[in-house]
Chains A and B, each alone.
Chain A
Amino acid sequence: MIELEDIWRTYQLGDTTLHALAGIDETIQDGEHVAIMGPSGSGKSTLLNIIGLLDRPTRGTYRLDGRAVGGLDDDALAAIRRRGIGYVFQSYHLIERLDARGNVELPLILDGVAPRERRGRVEAALEAVGLAERADHRPSELSGGQRQRVAIARATILNPRVILADEPTGNLDSSSGEQVLALLEGFRARGLTLILVTHDPAVARRAERVIILRDGRVVRRMPGRELQDLERALAGE
Chain B
Amino acid sequence: MRTLDLLRLSALSLLRQPRRSVLSLIGLAIGVAAVIILTAVGRGARTYVEQQFEVLGTHTLAILPGHSETTGGLPGFGGVPHDLTLEDARAVGRQIPGVLRLAPVVVANEECSAGGRSRRVVVVGTTAEYGAVRALRVRTGRFLSPGSWDESRPEVVLGKTLATELFPEGGALGQLVRVGGWRLRVIGVLARQGTTFGFDLDQVAFIPVRTAMTMFNKTSLFRVVLQSRAGSDMHLAEQRVRRLMIERHGEEDVTVATPEAIVDTLGGILDALTLALAGIAAISLLVAGIGIMNVMLVSVSERTAEIGLLKAIGANHRQVLALFLAEAAILSLAGGLLGLGVGLGLVKLLVTLAPTFPAAPPSWAILSALLLSLSTGVAFGWLPARRAVGLDPIAALAKEVL
Q: Give every chain B residue within 8 A of A106 (Cβ-Cβ).
A: 310, 313
Would A55 and B314 count as touching, CB distance under 8 A?
no
Q: Give every chain A residue within 8 A of B108 (Cβ-Cβ).
A: none
Which secondary structure characterizes the binding site on chain B?
A: helix
Would B313 and A109 count as touching, CB distance under 8 A?
no
Would A82 and B314 count as touching, CB distance under 8 A?
yes
Would B314 and A93 count as touching, CB distance under 8 A?
no
* Cα–Cα distance between A112 and B5 once the two chains are bound (Å): 9
Q: A55-B394, A112-B2 are in contact. Are A93 and B309 (CB under 8 A)?
A: yes
Would B314 and A95 count as touching, CB distance under 8 A?
no
Task: Find residues 55-112 in chain A having any chain B CB closer than 8 Å to their own CB.
Answer: 55, 74-75, 77-83, 87, 89, 91, 93-98, 106-107, 109-112
Q: Give every chain B residue within 8 A of A49 (Cβ-Cβ).
A: 394
A54 within 8 A of B: yes
Would A54 and B314 count as touching, CB distance under 8 A?
no
Q: Which residue of B lies closest to A52 (CB)?
A: B312
Task: Give the residue of A74, A81, A91, A112 whose beta carbon is less than 8 angstroms from that of B313.
Answer: A81
Instruction: Count A/B pairs, Cβ under 8 Å.
Output: 78
Q: Give every chain A residue within 8 A of B16 (Cβ-Cβ).
A: 97
Binary per-residue interface labels of chain A (151-163) against chain B in the complex, 1 for a CB within 8 Å, 0 otherwise? 0001100100000
Interface size of B by CB at 8 A reads 28
* Cα–Cα distance between A98 and B9 once the two chains are bound (Å): 9
Would A95 and B311 count as touching, CB distance under 8 A?
no
* Cα–Cα distance between A95 and B13 once the two chains are bound (Å): 10
Task: Give the residue of B308, B313, B393, B397 whose beta carbon is less than 8 angstroms from that of A82.
Answer: B313
Would B310 and A96 count as touching, CB distance under 8 A?
no
B305 within 8 A of A: yes
Q: Which residue of B lies closest to A98 (CB)?
A: B12
Would A111 and B314 count as touching, CB distance under 8 A?
yes
Would A78 and B9 count as touching, CB distance under 8 A?
no
Would A95 and B306 count as touching, CB distance under 8 A?
yes
Interface 9-mer from B123-131, B315-323, B359-367, B371-379: B315-323
Would A94 and B319 count as touching, CB distance under 8 A?
no
Would A110 and B397 count as touching, CB distance under 8 A?
no
Contact size range, A? 20 to 34
* Cα–Cα distance between A87 and B13 once the two chains are bound (Å): 23
Would B316 and A79 count as touching, CB distance under 8 A?
yes
Would A110 and B313 count as touching, CB distance under 8 A?
yes
Would A95 and B402 count as touching, CB distance under 8 A?
yes
* Cα–Cα distance between A44 and B309 once the two chains are bound (Å): 19
Task: Find residues 37-62 in chain B having any chain A CB closer than 8 Å to their own CB.
Answer: none
Would B1 and A87 count as touching, CB distance under 8 A?
no
Task: Give the residue of B311, B314, B318 whose beta carbon is less than 8 angstroms from that of A83.
Answer: B314
Q: Which residue of A lies closest to B317 (CB)?
A: A74
Q: Give every chain B residue within 8 A of A93 (Cβ-Cβ).
A: 305-306, 308-309, 312, 397, 402
* Cα–Cα distance between A87 and B314 once the two chains are bound (Å): 10
Nearest CB of chain A from residue B140's CB, rounded to whole Å: 76
Q: Which residue of B lies closest to A80 (CB)?
A: B314
Nearest CB of chain A from residue B117's CB, rounded to whole Å: 79
Q: Give every chain A residue within 8 A of B314 (Cβ-Cβ).
A: 78-83, 107, 110-111, 158
Task: Find residues 20-60 in chain A having any chain B CB closer than 8 Å to their own CB.
Answer: 49, 52, 54-55
B15 within 8 A of A: yes
Task: Find residues 278-318 in chain B having any chain A CB closer than 8 Å to their own CB.
Answer: 305-306, 308-318
Task: Give the residue of A96, A109, A155 whose beta carbon is less than 8 angstroms from that of B2.
Answer: A109
* Cα–Cα distance between A54 and B16 once the two chains are bound (Å): 27
Would A95 and B309 count as touching, CB distance under 8 A?
yes
Would A110 and B12 count as touching, CB distance under 8 A?
no
Nearest CB of chain A from residue B396's CB, rounded to whole Å: 10
Would B312 and A110 count as touching, CB distance under 8 A?
no
B400 within 8 A of A: yes
Nearest CB of chain B from residue A171's CB, rounded to whole Å: 10
Q: Give every chain B residue within 8 A of A55 (Cβ-Cβ).
A: 394
Q: Give every chain B residue within 8 A of A98 (Cβ-Cβ).
A: 12
Would A54 and B319 count as touching, CB distance under 8 A?
no
* Cα–Cα distance between A114 and B3 once the two chains are bound (Å): 11
Would B310 and A110 count as touching, CB distance under 8 A?
yes
Q: A52-B312, A75-B316 are in contact. Are A97 and B15 (CB under 8 A)?
A: yes
Nearest CB of chain A from residue B305's CB, rounded to whole Å: 6
Nearest CB of chain A from residue B302's CB, rounded to whole Å: 12
Q: Give every chain B residue within 8 A of A139 (Cβ-Cβ).
A: 402
* Cα–Cα distance between A123 and B125 once the two chains are bound (Å): 93
25 A/B residue pairs, CB under 8 Å, sorted by A: A49-B394, A54-B393, A55-B394, A74-B316, A74-B317, A77-B316, A78-B319, A80-B314, A82-B314, A89-B312, A93-B305, A93-B312, A94-B402, A95-B402, A96-B402, A97-B15, A98-B12, A107-B313, A109-B2, A111-B314, A112-B1, A112-B2, A114-B2, A115-B2, A155-B313
The 3 closest A-B pairs by CB, nearest first: A82-B314, A78-B316, A81-B314
A: residues with CB less than 8 A from B are 49, 52, 54-55, 74-75, 77-83, 87, 89, 91, 93-98, 106-107, 109-112, 114-115, 139, 154-155, 158
List 12 other contacts, CB 8 Å, given A93-B306, A110-B313, A112-B2: A49-B394, A54-B311, A54-B312, A55-B394, A78-B315, A93-B309, A93-B312, A107-B314, A109-B9, A110-B1, A110-B314, A110-B315
